[in-house]
Structure 1
Amino acid sequence: MRSQQLVLLLAVLLGSCDAAWDSPGKHRGGACAEPSDNKLRMQLRKLEPTIAPGFGGSGESSLLVDGTEDVQRRSCPSGATGGKGKDIKDRSVSPWSFTVNQDSSRYPRRIKEAYCLCDGCLLGHDGQEERSVMSEPFFTSILVLRRTKRCHHGRYVYKPDLETIALFCTCSA
């Protein structure tokens, strides 16, 4: 009987220690720290690389901030300047550019996100903007990791989450 009580007492003590380690935002040594980017990258890739093509596999850099984002927002190109450039985003009848979507509680913290340069589409004579049709962003959901309030072994716990972002712009009637 005494050994059962000892085992029960030990289980209760271990449970309370475990609870202290998994408490929101704190652990025995104080505040939680961020896990390394490498650990978060590996966690994201393990989940399902095909769900997050921008963060794993051959297209790893497609949604990551890489210097192609605008420092200042661009405006709709006019007539002769529209449709020029090597990238499809510049040649499109619904041109777009990229801005940085930043969130410190998410991994990756910085993601490229499209925004439309025009209200209408460049369908008019000489590439003039036609406002009878609309330029609209095309949205998709991507897999990210979202920081929780939980702390485990001194590090924040991150959980999978879907985030909706704009990939490109298209014309619609």
Structure 2
Amino acid sequence: MDTRIIFQILLTFIDMLFLFVFPSEGRSLHVRHCQQPDDIEEAFNNLRNQLDLTVLSNAESTEIIPCPSQTLSHHGDPQRLRSTCPWIWEANIDNTRYPQKIYNARCICRNCIGSSTKYHCESIFTHVKVFRILNCVNGLLRYVQDEQRVSVGCTCAHKRTHRNS
């Protein structure tokens, strides 16, 4: 391997180590006066690999609502509220990530609507690619690719049983 490549990998590793070992100091010292690169949105769209995750960054605002006693059935109601495990969107904001705002689904019912108590609502998770701020170079933020665990909905599932070891 070329020594320049090894040196660049080593510098990147040191930058990442500094960011995670000294998170608040690292972020405030290095990125306070930095700007995002002009092509960050294009780079992020390429990172997503054409996967439609618009709901994760453009979800409609919702207020906290109680668990309904029955599922909604009006054709105009969104799927998330017609489900036997309805959910709301909650914003997760992280200023060291691009995009800074990602919405997570939060189940509003403990048990599935209309079923016995042996079924309950569980979040469905996926991992999405994001950028994390690495440092600032010449007034521009530098990012590193990362993954973020995100809840995208809720499902009705049989409760887990505990096994005796």
The verdict on a shared fold, with TM-score over 0.5 as the criterion, is yes
Superimposed CA distance per residue, residues 114-148 of structure 1 (whole angstroms, 9 cap, x where no aligned partner): 00010000124xxxxx4321101000000111111
Q: Report the counterpart of residue 142 of structure 1 in structure 2.
A: 128
Any stretches of 5+ residues in structure 1 without a counterpart? 1-21, 55-60, 125-129
Q: How many residues align?
A: 130
Task: State the SS of the aligned residue for 2:65.
Answer: coil
Q: Give the equivalent residue in structure 2 for 1:171.
A: 156
Give me the CA root mean square deviation.
2.3
The TM-score with structure 2 as length reference comes to 0.69
**1:150-161 correspondence to structure 2 within 5 Å:** 150-161=135-146
Output aligned runs, 1:14-163, within 5 Å.
25-26=29-30, 32-36=33-37, 39-50=39-50, 52-54=51-53, 61-66=54-59, 68-70=60-62, 72-79=63-70, 82-85=71-74, 86-124=77-115, 130-148=116-134, 150-163=135-148
The amino acid of 2:87's aligned partner reads W
The answer as to whether partners of 1:97 and 1:117 remain within 8 angstroms in 2 is yes
Greater Cα radius of gyration, structure 1 or 2: 1
1:45-87 C-alpha deviation (Å, 9 max, x unpaired): 233523x431xxxxxx322134x122x32220123xx323421
Change (3 A) 1:168 1:48: closer
Q: In the TM superposition, what is the alpha-carbon distance from 1:26 to its structure 2 partner?
A: 4.7
Distance 2:52 2:131 in 1: 14
Mapped partners of 1:26, 1:102: distance in 2: 20
- CA drift of 1:153 comes to 1.9
Distance 1:73 1:53 in 2: 26
CA change 1:113–1:160 in 2 (3 A) is same
